[in-house]
A and B are shown apart, each in its own frame.
Chain A
Amino acid sequence: MTAPEFPDVPDLLAQMRAHDDVDAPRPPNTLATIRELANRQTPEQRQAAREYGERVAFGLDALDLGETFLEQGNLDAAARWFAVAVRYDADGARAELETVEQLQAAFAEPGVPDDSVLGPAPLEQRPHDDAAARGISTYTLDWADREAERITTEARDEAAAIVQNAKSSAAALVLDAQTDAARIRAQAHRDAEMIRARAADDIQGHDERPGAKSGTTLWKLDFSEPADSQLWRARWCSQTGAAPADLRLALEFAEKALAIHAAETASLEKRFDQFMDATFSRGELVERRWFTGARSRLWDVARSLKLFVPSLPWPVGRDERPPIVWDGPRVISEQEHKSVVAEIHATLGRHEHRTTDTVPSMRDSNRDVTVVDMCGRSARLVFQAKFYGSPSALPVLPMSEDDGLIVITDLSAP
């Protein structure tokens, strides 16, 4: 059998009243009936009634004063007035007095400053002190000051501990990031070693071809040198007639060199604030930093590439060698595009390649895209620039653009 559920307390009290005889008919009290009752009493009884009322009023006033002093923290004055209220039988005064006495006893316990150490006796007040004028004892003020100082000290210590922990965590993060950077750098070195080995093999094969120039020694490149130096060597290779395969490897090699350079020059501490905002993980940060550094470096690479590209000894239609296959996008600066196009013109004229109707021209500066069909067979070289070429001339070619840089994509697909 489940216990019956009762209405909530307010409803319960209302039902109690409904079942009591509170609202039973009775003659209401009026001023006339009360006056008549009073007049029936003896003068002594009336005087006693007046004194009764005065005692109640005095007790209520004493209770109010005690509560006021208690709110102000003046326990001694509060205790005195509550004691007065108790003498006048004010309801609740005794409970309030007991509460104040418990507070006073608690403050007198060890650990709570007492007046024997801090100053005047509990009931003593300084005559011209503002606090005393406001009715606040120096005991309470001194204790409050000590408490405030203690809380401040604790908060300061806690803050110092938090900062120390943060520094330790930050050091660990930096260490992790440096480890990641070292790992990336080592991987880049390994890749570059593989490229150099392949380049050495290719050069060896090229040197064995009849009429080929010898002496292009990519494999002699020093990985410890700056990326710009590597690129200069690559460009030098092209201008000296190195084989296309050599040039492709040189480009790949240059990118790896850039990766190494970016990883080595990464200043993790300067970007430490990026750790702290926790918008990306440590691994992402390393990747992001590499990307940022590599892109800024590629800007410089592009300045070399614009000389590099037109100097290619285009093989198509001459020695029937396979078309050049570039693995990925190459980036040149937007500021250099005119020189690039001019040199392409020179290259085209030199090799008499057939071109599309949208032969790059300085006169086409109002166009967006220039498409150069280098041979009409398998390889096309596509230049994307903001103010070159015609969009209609570029119906299907996959293009990519990145933040104001010009992306050159070589497509060898038929």
Chain B
Amino acid sequence: MSTDSSDNTLDSFIREWDSKLVAYIRKNVPTAEIAADIAQGVWVVVYEQEGDGPVPDNLAKLLFGIARHKVADWHRANTARQSVPLTSLLAEIVETPSREAEPGESLRELPEHMQDAFHELEKILPRLTQRERDAVILRHYVGMPVDEVAAAMGVKQYAAKRFMAKGLRKIRTLLSQAGYTISVSTREMP
């Protein structure tokens, strides 16, 4: 992790982890606005827990634990929307004109088969265990290095790698069972 040990204040911790936290939450909620709101709520809880003093070494684990709870709370509070399939929800978001997306970057402009693949992926991710899903998302969607993934999950690095490998293997299997052809990647594991 890139945290400077000489600057272990909550301020530096927030600066280092904020964008990763938002990206992780974003993958679990429909919009960036919702993700930003939830992230602020998470940081408030952390602030109430830790105050202004030095932060403990395992704070990333608590941070993402709180984030998972907040996301779950949001889904519980939005039961009506949660009952809608995620694919439909995603399509709805794409249709929403107010969605902040740069021209040429919206899902609507993706090739149709890629949209299908993304939708399939959205359906598959919930079939992974919580930890497999978290490991895959943190590593490949959020873009964290393995040590940060392990810290966020509160596990050893080898365990984080194992969750990633299992998650990727499951996704590949399920995608191929759904009729998609996946090219073999040379970068299997970080």
The chain A residues found within 8 Å of chain B, CB to CB, are 3-22, 24, 26, 28-35, 37-38, 41, 46, 49-50, 52-54, 56-57, 59-60, 64, 89-92, 95
Contact = CB atoms under 8 A, between A and B. Distances in A.
B89 interface: no
Given A16-B118, A57-B65, A6 B182 contact: yes
A95 B130 contact: yes
Contacts of A34: 14, 40, 43-44, 46-47
Given A13-B141, A35-B47, A41-B44, A26 B32 contact: yes
Contacts of B141: 13-14, 16-17
Nearest to B58: A60
Nearest to B122: A16
B48 A53 contact: yes
Nearest to A2: B181
27 contacts: A5-B181, A6-B117, A6-B181, A6-B183, A8-B182, A8-B185, A12-B117, A14-B141, A16-B118, A16-B121, A19-B105, A19-B106, A20-B32, A21-B26, A22-B26, A22-B32, A24-B101, A28-B15, A31-B9, A35-B47, A37-B40, A37-B43, A60-B65, A89-B69, A89-B72, A91-B65, A91-B130
Contacts of B183: 5-8
Given A46-B48, A53-B62, 12 more contacts: A6-B114, A8-B183, A13-B137, A19-B105, A20-B32, A30-B11, A32-B11, A33-B40, A37-B44, A52-B45, A53-B45, A95-B130
Interface in B130-173: 130-131, 136-137, 139-143, 154, 168, 171-172
Given A21-B100, A34-B43, A92-B129, A28 B185 contact: no
Contacts of B136: 9, 13
Contacts of B19: 28
A17 B25 CA distance: 12
A67 to B, nearest CB: 9
B8 to A, nearest CB: 13
A60 B22 CA distance: 21
Contacts of B180: 3, 6
A30 B121 CA distance: 33
Given A31-B10, A91-B68, A92-B130, A49 B23 contact: no
A9 B172 contact: yes
Interface of B: 9-11, 14-15, 18-19, 22-23, 26-27, 31-32, 35-36, 39-40, 43-49, 52, 61-62, 65-66, 68-69, 72, 99-101, 105-107, 110-111, 113-114, 117-118, 121, 129-131, 136-137, 139-143, 154, 168, 171-172, 175, 179-185, 187
Q: What are the 8 closest A-B residue pairs judged by CB atoms, nearest first?
A: A8-B185, A31-B11, A53-B49, A13-B140, A92-B130, A10-B140, A49-B48, A21-B32
Given A16-B118, A31-B11, A38-B48, A3 B181 contact: yes
Contacts of A60: 61-62, 65, 154
A20 B69 CA distance: 23
Given A17-B143, A60-B154, A30 B15 contact: yes
B154 A54 contact: no
A53 B66 contact: yes
A15 B19 CA distance: 18
Contacts of B184: 8
A65 to B, nearest CB: 12
Contact of B179 (A3, A31, A38, A89): A3
B160 to A, nearest CB: 14
Given A9-B168, A9-B175, A14 B143 contact: yes
A13 B121 contact: yes
